[in-house]
Chain A
Amino acid sequence: MKKFLDDRKIHIPSGCGVTGIMDTSGKSISGSDIVTSIINMTERGNGLGSGYAGYGIYPEMKDSYCFHIMYQKDTVIEVTENYLNKKFNLILKEPIPTKNVKTLSYVPILYRYFISPKAELIKLNYETESQTEFFEQDFVSSCVMFINKEIEYAFVFSSGKNMGIFKGVGNPDEIAEFFKIYEYKAYIWTAHNRFPTNSVAWWGGAHPFGLLNWSVVHNGEISSYGINRRYLENFGYYCSLFTDTEVMAYLVDLIIRKHNLSFDILAKIFSAPFWSQIDRMEENEKNFYTYLRIIYGPALVNGPFAIIVTNNNTMVGLSDRTKLRPLVAGKKGSILYIASEEAAIRCVSKELDTVWTPKAGEPVIGKLS
C-alpha cells in the first residue's frame, strides 16, 4: 500500500515557486491575477501542495480574528470548539466555501471562525492601550500553538484579522478552484507552489504558513533549522511542525512584533552581511551590523531560500545571503510584484515600469501608503 507522509511528524525537503502581488495604494485586486501568476510556474511544483494568502478579504469582519481550521477527523471538532469557546467570543462560524474538485484527495473538514478573545482572560497584567494589542496577540498566538500542538487532527492554518490563508495538497489551479480564490478580493496576495520530495497527504503542510497576521511563502531548505528552532524555544515558541517555514514565521513574529524591529532589519538578521562586507563599512554601520550579528546570530537563516513575508500592511521579498534561490521584483504604478521568476510577473502585467533582480540578502519592501 502506498504510504503518505505527514509534515507534522517528519521533515520533508521541498522545492518551490513563490509569488506575491501588492497594491500599495490599498486597492483590491481580484484573486485571478495571483492564480495566473502561480500557474505560470507549474514546473516548480509537483502537484503536492499549493496555497494562497489574501489580505483585505474579510472587510466586514476586519476587527475580529479569523481562524481557518482543518480537521482530519470530525471527532476533534467538538474538542476544539470547546477550547475556542473557553478562550474566545464566537462571532461567526461557517464552513470555508469550497467547490468539489474531483482530482483532490485527503480533503480535510474546513471551517472558519470569526472570534475575539475574551477580554477578561487577557486584561490581567497591562495598562496602556498599545500594550493591550500586544498582549492580545500573544494570547491569540498561544491559543493557536496550543491547538496545533495538543489537539491531534486539528490544525489552525490561518489566524489573522481581515486576512486568510487557503491551502492544500494539489496543483495551484486545483486548489484555487477548490477554495474559489477568484471570488476573493485583496490588496495583498501571495501564492505558493510546492515540490515536496515525498508524497504528502496532510493539507497543513502546504504554504503559506501563517501566525496571527503573518504569512510566509518560502522556497528553500534551511540548514540552520536545528538552531533556529532551539533559539525560538528560548523565547517560548514551540514548533509543532517540521517545516522550515514555520520557523521562519515564528522568527518574523519574534523579531518584528516582539522585538519591535523593522523589515529591513529583519532582512539583515535573516541574511546577515558577511564579515568581509561589514569590515568595509563606515564606523556607524559597521557597529550596527556587528551588534546585529552578535545578538541575532542564532536567527541567521542559513541555506538556500527565497521568501515572501506579508502582514496587513507590508509585503517583503527576501533571499538568502548568497542568493541560492531566485527572486525577481517588478513595479507597475502602485502595484508591486515579487516572484521566483520574471515570467510569473509578466504573465499578469506585461508593461512593467521597472523590473529588477534584488541582490543577495537585499529585501524588497512594499508598504501600504
Chain B
Amino acid sequence: MSKSKFRTDFKIVRDMEKCIKCQACARVCSNDAHVYDNESNSIISYNDKCVGCHFCEDLCPTGALTIKRNIPEIKFNSHWDSYSVYNIIKQAETGGVLLTGMGNDKPFKEYFDHIVLNASQVTNPSIDPLREPMELKTFIGKKPDKIELKYEPYKLEYNKPELKIINYKISTKMPPQLVLETPIMFSAMSYGSISLNAQKSLAKAATEFGTMWNTGEGGLHEDLKPYSKNVIVQVASGRFGVDIDYLESAAAVEIKIGQGAKPGIGGHLPGEKVDTEVSKTRFIPIGSDAISPAPHHDIYSIEDLKQLIYALKEATRYQKPVGVKIAAVHNIAPIATGAVRAGADFVVIDGMRGGTGAAPTVIRDNVGIPIELAIAVVDQRLRDEGIRQQASLIAAGGFRSSADIIKAIALGVDAVYIGTSALISLGCHLCQKCYTGKCNWGIATQDPYLTKRLNPEIGAKRAYNLLRAWSLEIKEMLGGMGINAIESLRGNREQLRGVGLSELELKLLGIKHAGEAW
C-alpha cells in the first residue's frame, strides 16, 4: 500500500534544549502524535497525527513544545487552493463524506464587524454602571399585549409623593416565563456529543449565574438533575431521553427542528460512544448508533409542528414555555413567524456559524445564512405582523464577544445562546475534531481517561467567569448609551450604525449607515 497522502496540518516543534523527556506529552495525546521510544530514550513526533488542539503545548512543564501550522507550499493557485486540493486527495483515498466539527470557518462577511454602537454625549448623559443600577434581567416567553386590571375605586392624591398601587386585581394571565439574570444562555450540547463533565460545568455555571443551560438532544443525566431548575430540555427528531420526568424536571422545552451548522440534516452518534451512561440517558441500548433523522417523522408541515408544541404544552400542563429551534435559512422570516403562530413561546434561530459535534464539511460550510441578517428579518417580520410580543426571540451561532451579543440584542433578540465560546472557556482550542471523540480537553469525548481532565468545578468557575465578564461589558456599553435596562436596547436599532455596508444590507439589517444621524 502506498503511503497515505493525507496532508499534515500541523508541525510539532520540540525544543530539545528544554525537553526533559518527562513523557507527559506522550501520555496525554489522544491522537498518539508523541510516542516515547524506550530503546533510544527519545520522543518521536508524528506530525500527521496532530490535530492542533494545543493540549500538550499547554501541559508541557518546561515549555518545550510549540505546535505550528504547517502551511503547504504547493504552487500558489488562487482557485485551486490547498484546502480544496487536499480535500480531493483525502476523498480519493477514502471515498467518503468529509466530516468536521465546530462551526463554519470560511471567510464569509462578518456583519457584526461592520456594525458599530452608539454612546451618549452632552444631550443625554451616559450612566456609570459602577454607581447606578444597570439591569440585564430578561424574560423568555410569550408576553400578553396588554395588562388588564380590575380597579377598586380609589382616590388619587397628587401631593403624595409615593403612589402605592394596591387597589387593583390583575385579570391578565401571564404565560410561563423563564427568568434570566443575563441575556446569555448556554446552547444545546448533548451528553454524548460532549462529556458529562463539560455539561456539568455549564449546568453549574448557568445555575449559579441565574441563566439557562440546554441538554441538547441527549437526555438529562441523573447527575445533572440538581441543575434542572435552569435547564431547557430538547425534544429532537430522535426523541432521545424524552419521557415525562424529563419534560417535568425542566424549566422549558425546546423542539429542535434544525441546527445552524447543519441545516436540513440529522445527527449520528456512533455506537462506540454509546456507553452505559449515555445509553441510560438516551434510553437506547449500549453500543447502538443514535440516529436523529433529518426531519421529525411526525412533523412534515407547520400544522404538525403545532400539534407537537401543544402536545408538549399539555404534557407540562401549560406551566413551561415551549419553544422551537430552527436553522437560519433563506426563508427564515416566514418560518419563524409560522412557529410563533403555531404556538411557540420562544423561537431560536441558529445561524451558519453555529457549532456542531459532527457534520459533513460541505454542509457546514455552505448551507444557511448569517445570524445577523436572520435576526433582523425575523424581528422585523414579527413586528410587521404585530406578533412580536407573542414569542421571545433567541439567537445562536458563533457569538464571539459581548459586542456581538449586544449588537444582536439591539437588532432585536431577547437573548442569545452561546456554545462554542462556552466550550472555549472550558479549554477548547477549536481544532474542529470533535467528531473523532478524542478531544484532549475532555470536552467532546466520552473516554474516561480524557474526560477526567475537565474538572467540573474548575470548568464551572471558568464558564461563570465568562458570563460575568460579558455581562459586565454589556453593562458598560449600555451605560455609555445612557440606557439602564436591557429592554430599552432590545430592537433599538437606532443605537446601531453600519460601516461599509451596501444599501441593501443596511435595509435588511434595518440600520442606518455610520455618519447618518437619527
Whether, in the assembled complex, B504 has its beta carbon less than 8 Å from a beta carbon of chain A, the answer is no
Whether, in the assembled complex, A292 has its beta carbon less than 8 Å from a beta carbon of chain B, the answer is yes
> Do B137 and A275 touch across chains, with their CB atoms under 8 A apart?
yes
**Number of residues from A at the complex interface, CB < 8 A:** 68
- Determine the chain B residues whose CB is within 8 A of the CB of A304 once the complex forms: 124-125, 482
> Do A235 and B124 touch across chains, with their CB atoms under 8 A apart?
no
Partner of B168, one of A225, A288, A359: A288
Whether, in the assembled complex, A345 has its beta carbon less than 8 Å from a beta carbon of chain B, the answer is no
3 nearest A-B pairs in the assembled complex, by CB-CB distance: A11-B518, A226-B494, A297-B487
Whether, in the assembled complex, B298 has its beta carbon less than 8 Å from a beta carbon of chain A, the answer is no
Seed contacts A287-B170, A291-B147, A358-B161; 11 additional CB < 8 Å A-B pairs: A197-B123, A226-B493, A227-B488, A227-B491, A235-B386, A236-B386, A265-B165, A285-B164, A297-B490, A300-B487, A363-B163
Contact mask for chain A residues 280-315; partner B; CB cutoff 8 A; 1 contact, 0 none: 000011011001111111101011100000000000
Interface residues of A in 214-238 (CB under 8 A from B): 220-227, 229-231, 233-236
- Determine the chain A residues whose CB is within 8 A of the CB of B484 once the complex forms: 302, 321-322
Binds B, one of A71-79, A100-108, A150-158, A256-264: A256-264
Q: Measured between C-beta atoms, what is the minimum distance from A367 to chain B in Å? A: 6
Q: Which secondary structure dominates where chain A touches chain B? A: mixed
> Do A275 and B135 touch across chains, with their CB atoms under 8 A apart?
yes
Partner of A291, one of B174, B482, B490: B174
Of A223, A287, A288, A294, most buried by chain B (CB within 10 Å of CB) is: A223
Instruction: Give 5 A-B contacts (CB < 8 Å), ordered by A residue.
Output: A221-B124, A274-B133, A291-B170, A294-B139, A324-B125
- Determine the chain B residues whose CB is within 8 A of the CB of A14 once the complex forms: 123
> Do B488 and A331 touch across chains, with their CB atoms under 8 A apart?
no
Interface residues of A (CB under 8 A from B): 10-11, 13-15, 197, 220-227, 229-231, 233-236, 242, 258-265, 267-268, 272, 274-276, 284-285, 287-288, 291-298, 300, 302-304, 321-322, 324, 329, 331, 336, 354, 356, 358-359, 362-367
Complex alpha-carbon distance, A354 and B157, angstroms = 14
Complex alpha-carbon distance, A188 and B470, angstroms = 49
Whether, in the assembled complex, B276 has its beta carbon less than 8 Å from a beta carbon of chain A, the answer is no
A255 closest partner in B (C-beta): B146
Complex alpha-carbon distance, A281 and B491, angstroms = 30
Interface residues of B (CB under 8 A from A): 120, 123-125, 127, 132-133, 135, 137, 139, 143-149, 151, 156, 158-159, 161-166, 168, 170, 172, 174, 177, 383, 386, 388-389, 410, 481-485, 487-495, 517-518
Of A10, A227, A260, A298, most buried by chain B (CB within 10 Å of CB) is: A227
Complex alpha-carbon distance, A324 and B490, angstroms = 22
* A294 with B143, Cβ < 8 A, contacts A221-B123, A224-B488, A359-B161 known: yes
- Determine the chain B residues whose CB is within 8 A of the CB of A302 once the complex forms: 482-485, 488
Complex alpha-carbon distance, A224 and B53, angstroms = 44
> Do B483 and A364 touch across chains, with their CB atoms under 8 A apart?
no
Of A268, A294, A354, most buried by chain B (CB within 10 Å of CB) is: A294
- Determine the chain A residues whose CB is within 8 A of the CB of B151 once the complex forms: 262
> Do A300 and B488 touch across chains, with their CB atoms under 8 A apart?
yes
Partner of A226, one of B164, B170, B492: B492
- Determine the chain A residues whose CB is within 8 A of the CB of B170 once the complex forms: 287-288, 291
Complex alpha-carbon distance, A365 and B489, angstroms = 29
> Do A223 and B120 touch across chains, with their CB atoms under 8 A apart?
yes
> Do B518 and A367 touch across chains, with their CB atoms under 8 A apart?
no
> Do A13 and B123 touch across chains, with their CB atoms under 8 A apart?
yes
Partner of A362, one of B161, B166, B168: B161
Q: Measured between C-beta atoms, what is the minimum distance from B181 to chain A in Å? A: 10
Complex alpha-carbon distance, A366 and B160, angstroms = 11
> Do B388 and A234 touch across chains, with their CB atoms under 8 A apart?
yes
